[in-house]
Amino acid sequence: MTLSHAAHVPSPARPRRLPAGLAAVTPAFALVAVVFVLPVLALLLRSVLEPEPGLQNYAAFFASTTYLKVLGNTFLVAATVTVATVLLGFPVAWFLAIAPGFWSRLLFAVVILSMWTNLLARTYAWMVLLQRTGLINRTLMNLGLISEPLPLINNLVGVTIGMTYIMLPFMILPLHATIRSIDPSVFQAASLCGASRWQAFTRVMLPLTATGIAAGALMVFVMSLGYFITPALLGGTSNMMLAELIAQLVQSLLDWGLAGAAALVLLVVTLAIYAVQLRFFGFGQARS
């Protein structure tokens, strides 16, 4: 073999190695695939394979006024809870950002501890508070504000109150981080330019915190769509949400096909909302 031929002999291919970062997270991806992705895919496949191949489960879901009412009720509760958490969480996050160190740490600890408390215990506590003989109704009657107990449980009012309380930390934390990142000199500049407090809030504060509001609202809305325990205990069967319907279809009626169809509807709606919000706010991208 001449030297020129030897120069053109291809070298043996080296095995490709995964990037160091990808290799480190591969076990985590595998775990998520096994415990989350595969069961979800199996449930969704059942929606088109049981009781026979086809889309009859989806046709039955959208043809039923009962199921459509549950779907509408799910969106209504999720939207109401999201709006309530924004209205209540914004002033709390603002106070956390501007309060003196002791009060800020104390309130922050209260917010975090409320997240660590058992969800079922918190829901049962609201059942005690909201019932006809509960503390809220008795206090209002003793003050002479009402003449008879208000229906605060087994309806949408109870579900909204309970879920708003549970979701508040998920709105407060991203808002607090966004507000803390704002330079206070921005508001001083607005004041020097003649802006009133309301103008500084609407034209400076809200635009600068829009990303935090959007992030918290997305988290609260998506979590509310799939909530189960609180609506089941505080809302009753007449105010069922989609997650409770899926659980009943699986556990009581053993209708895995229809349950899979309902689950896919919920999944598609959730992903669509996330895609729209990502399109308009571009989380994770640099913003000018």
CATH number at residue 113: 1.10.3720.10
For residue 170, the enclosing domain spans 31-281
| Average pLDDT for 201-230 | 85
The answer to whether residue 177 sits within a structural domain is yes
Pick the residue with more confidence: 175 or 53? 175
In the predicted structure, residue 130 carries a pLDDT above the cut 50: yes
Q: Quick one: pLDDT at residue 88?
A: 92
How far is residue 77's CA from residue 241's CA, in Å, rounded to a whole number? 8
Q: Quick one: pLDDT at residue 282?
A: 60
pLDDT digits (tens, 9 = 90+) for 260-273: 888 888 888 888 88
The answer to whether residue 13 sits within a structural domain is no
Q: Confidence band (pLDDT; 50, 70, 90) for 8?
A: low
The answer to whether residue 286 sits within a structural domain is no
User: Of the candidates 172, 174, 171, 201, which has an alpha carbon nearest to the alpha carbon of residue 186?
Assistant: 201
The answer to whether residue 266 sits within a structural domain is yes
Q: Quick one: pLDDT at residue 4?
A: 52
The answer to whether residue 193 sits within a structural domain is yes
Q: Quick one: pLDDT at residue 13?
A: 54
The answer to whether residue 104 sits within a structural domain is yes
pLDDT digits (tens, 9 = 90+) for 146-165: 888 888 888 888 888 989 99
The region of weakest confidence among 17-26, 54-63, 93-102, 211-220 is: 17-26
| Cα–Cα distances in angstroms (integers) from residue 140 to residues 157, 240, 252, in the given order | 16, 28, 40
The answer to whether residue 231 sits within a structural domain is yes
If one counts the domains in the chain, the total is 1
The answer to whether residue 6 sits within a structural domain is no
